[in-house]
Chains A and B, each alone.
Chain A
Amino acid sequence: MTERKIRVLIAKPGLDGHDRGAKVVARALRDAGMEVIYTGIRQTPEMIVEAALQEDVDVVGLSILSGAHMALCPRIIELLRRQGMDDVVVLVGGIIPDEDVEPLKQLGVKGVFGPGTSTGEIVEFIRQQVAG
């Protein structure tokens, strides 16, 4: 009998090509026993939601350093909703100004993780969200 694994999609929407952070998080989640689907850089919201749907993930982690988070996140959340995937936990990491954190959470982003976040914190957050 296999246990149920937490499946996470890590994606980089938008045009910045800096994927170090996304890869570090992807590895940390793998090392925490999760199945991480990594999609690479320059993904459109449509591509991300399609991948999340096909892979049936519990969590979508978005890495955004371009400053376009207030444009990309609402679009992705809207597309997830349209697919009936409201239960998918959306997390954002990268460079997010403090004043944008609350509006993002209002939109439905469950967690925002800026520079300096320990990977353990993200692992713990995901476990709680998926269990709850």
Chain B
Amino acid sequence: MDQSADALLTALLAGNRRALARVISLIEDDAAEASALLSALYAHTGRAHVIGITGAPGTGKSTLVNALARAYRAQGRTVGVIAVDPTSPFSGGALLGDRVRMRDLAGDPGVFIRSMATRGSLGGLARAAGDVISVLDAAGFERILVETVGVGQAEVDIASAAHTTVVVEAPGLGDEVQAIKAGVLEIADIFAVNKADREGADRTVLALQMMQGLAPAAATGHHRATGAPMPHPQPQPGPQEDGSWLPPIQKTIALRGDGVDALRAWIERHAVYLRATGGWTRRETFRAATEIERILRDRLLAALLASLPADCFAQTVAAVVRRETDPYTAATRLLTYAP
């Protein structure tokens, strides 16, 4: 690592915010120093509780992150925020506006907010976000909130980097089938039904309960004789006797701060549950394995491509397009060039 990178690292570990911001940029840009910086940082990571906050546009994620960060600050915890917004596939640019809702956090040295665009591929986002999490972790932030727009695979990827994932819903934003389709429900450790003062909040809660298979019988449409005992007692959300975790559904009004401290408490309980059941280590193991696999894949591909004769790849592609060969046979043949 060159001297300037070394100096940056020392400054970052000493709490210099400018150095922290610079290191994040170098990693986001995949600069030459990036992997050396990450290697040097890694020994200082592993202390933060990483919390993913995801949900559809308009559910109030940024406002909730703002309120949640304040709740953590009231408990004396330092908070790093990564606010991810999509890059335009047409221009490659991005409009990152989450800070507008986080102005309450301005001027607090215990908070660091960074906006991130998704840039290229979805897999690329997961890499960069995972690495930026490591940087904030090494810089000593105790809780790291990663906010993403819930639209698909990117969220699932980022969830794999989080210890706890909060899925934010709001009343009146499409039916629950929409939510199932989006596929973000499976990744939820906790649900926040935000804007709970709006009409339909109870129905949103009910829809989530139904998906958990827990709705009261009457609400699911199954009739039962009056006075008959409930077939099963309602399990309480949180840790279950069989060692599993039933995602709690917490109503919040982020703008007023209502329910936010209760949400914070659920997030903390989830961390306690993870540590008590080995789930924390399991998640970290999964993340490390995914990470190493990805790096191997990238490097192996780069090594193979570098060892191919000039034009070989393009000619193979052309042959496949002409239907002279198929992609599988072509790949097998290219693999014979492996170094």
Complex formed: what's the CA distance from A37 to B87 in Å? Answer: 12
Stretch at the interface among A50-58, A94-102, A109-117: A50-58
| B95 and A38 contact, CB distance less than 8 A | yes
B114 within 8 A of A: yes
Quote the shortest CB–CB distance from A79 to chain B (angstroms). Answer: 12
| A56 and B22 contact, CB distance less than 8 A | yes
| A46 and B107 contact, CB distance less than 8 A | yes
With a cutoff of 8 Å between Cβ atoms, the chain A residues found around residue B21 in the complex are 53-56
Stretch at the interface among B116-124, B194-202, B242-250, B319-327: B116-124
Query: Chain A: interface secondary structure?
Result: mixed
Within 8 A of B (CB), among A22-39: 26-27, 29-39
A85 within 8 A of B: yes
Complex formed: what's the CA distance from A37 to B62 in Å? Answer: 14
Stretch at the interface among B71-79, B96-104, B263-271: B96-104
Which residue of B92, B103, B106 contacts A33 across the interface (Cβ within 8 Å)? B92
B113 within 8 A of A: yes
Complex formed: what's the CA distance from A29 to B117 in Å? Answer: 14
Contact with A along B81-114 (1 / 0, CB 8 A): 0000001100111111101100100110000111
Quote the shortest CB–CB distance from A54 to chain B (angstroms). Answer: 6
A106 within 8 A of B: no
Contact with A along B19-35 (1 / 0, CB 8 A): 00110110011110000
| A40 and B103 contact, CB distance less than 8 A | yes
Complex formed: what's the CA distance from A38 to B113 in Å? Answer: 13
B297 within 8 A of A: no
B203 within 8 A of A: no
A5 within 8 A of B: yes
B45 within 8 A of A: no
The 3 A-B residue pairs with the shortest CB-CB distance, nearest first, are A40-B100, A30-B93, A56-B21
Interface size class of A (residues with CB under 8 A): 20 to 34
Q: Which residue on B lies nearest to A56, using beta carbons?
A: B21
| B119 and A39 contact, CB distance less than 8 A | no
20 contacts between A and B (CB under 8 A): A2-B28, A2-B30, A7-B25, A29-B93, A30-B94, A32-B93, A34-B93, A35-B94, A36-B96, A37-B97, A38-B95, A43-B103, A46-B106, A46-B107, A47-B106, A55-B114, A55-B115, A56-B21, A56-B25, A84-B18
A-B contact sample (6 more), CB < 8 A, given A2-B120, A44-B106, A51-B99:
A30-B95, A35-B96, A36-B94, A36-B95, A38-B97, A54-B113
With a cutoff of 8 Å between Cβ atoms, the chain A residues found around residue B30 in the complex are 1-2
A20 within 8 A of B: no
Quote the shortest CB–CB distance from B303 to chain A (angstroms). Answer: 15
Q: Which residue on A lies nearest to B114, using beta carbons?
A: A54
Within 8 A of A (CB), among B301-333: none
| B119 and A5 contact, CB distance less than 8 A | yes
With a cutoff of 8 Å between Cβ atoms, the chain B residues found around residue A4 in the complex are 29, 31
Quote the shortest CB–CB distance from B27 to chain A (angstroms). Answer: 10
B224 within 8 A of A: no
Contact with B along A59-79 (1 / 0, CB 8 A): 000000000000000000000
With a cutoff of 8 Å between Cβ atoms, the chain B residues found around residue A5 in the complex are 29, 92, 117, 119
B294 within 8 A of A: no
